[in-house]
């Protein structure tokens, strides 16, 4: 079984994330969405809320699991038998940071590949940060996030 890990903060999960998850399911037998829980990240939603939202948004995808990620990503990937880490690249500006992280991951675990996927054109601008900002001032995030996330954002703000 070929397993991939798709890590991120997912604060909140967006339709761009969902695009990459769906496409990853075509490449791997199992995709684990690893929801990062790090004290240095200031998040709107708790890790429990974020995992719950990812599960609700991916329940129609039987090969997807959502789990909490604490500690090193490569350790998490090894623990779950993953052969690959999925990362999204929206723009050239994402590449430099993602490249540095992938090189370090390769240094730590040379048996785990990093796969870069570009989102569909309509999601190239989309980020969780932008979604939070729009929602925080009462703007509509319809068409940017799954309905369950839209409801959760309205409840937060």
Specify the pLDDT at position 96: 86
Specify the pLDDT at position 123: 94
Please give the C-alpha separations between residue 133 and each of 24, 141, 148, in angstroms, as whole numbers: 28, 10, 18
Do 78 and 109 meet the contact criterion of CB atoms below 8 Å apart?
A: yes
Condensed to tens digits (0 to 9), the pLDDT of residues 85-128 reads 999 998 777 888 899 999 999 999 999 999 999 999 999 999 99
Do 67 and 35 meet the contact criterion of CB atoms below 8 Å apart?
A: yes
- Return the domain boundaries, the chain: 3-124
Specify the pLDDT at position 40: 85
Q: What's the predicted TM-score (pTM) here?
A: 0.95
Specify the pLDDT at position 35: 98
Architecture of domain 3-124: 3-Layer(aba) Sandwich (3.40)
Spell out a b/e string for 15-25, using b for 16 or more CB atoms within 10 Å of the CB, else e. bbbbbbbebbb
Specify the pLDDT at position 93: 74
Condensed to tens digits (0 to 9), the pLDDT of residues 5-60 reads 999 999 999 999 999 999 999 999 999 999 999 888 899 999 999 999 999 999 99
């Amino acid at each position: 079984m070929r397993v991939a890990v798709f890590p991120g903060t997912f604060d909140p999960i967006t339709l761009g994330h969902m695009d990459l998850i769906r496409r990853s399911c075509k490449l791997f037998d199992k995709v684990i969405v690893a929801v990062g829980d790090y004290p240095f990240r200031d998040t709107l939603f708790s890790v429990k809320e974020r995992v719950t939202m990812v599960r609700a948004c991916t329940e129609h995808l039987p090969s997807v699991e959502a789990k909490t990620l604490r500690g090193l990503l490569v350790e998490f990937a090894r623990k779950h038998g993953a052969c690959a880490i999925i990362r999204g690249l929206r723009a050239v500006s994402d590449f430099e940071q993602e490249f540095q992280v992938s090189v370090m991951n390769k240094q730590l675990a040379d048996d785990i590949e990093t796969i870069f996927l570009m989102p569909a054109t309509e999601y190239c601008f989309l980020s969780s940060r932008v979604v939070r900002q729009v929602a925080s001032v009462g703007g509509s995030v319809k068409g940017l996030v799954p309905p369950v996330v839209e409801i959760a954002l309205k409840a937060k703000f």
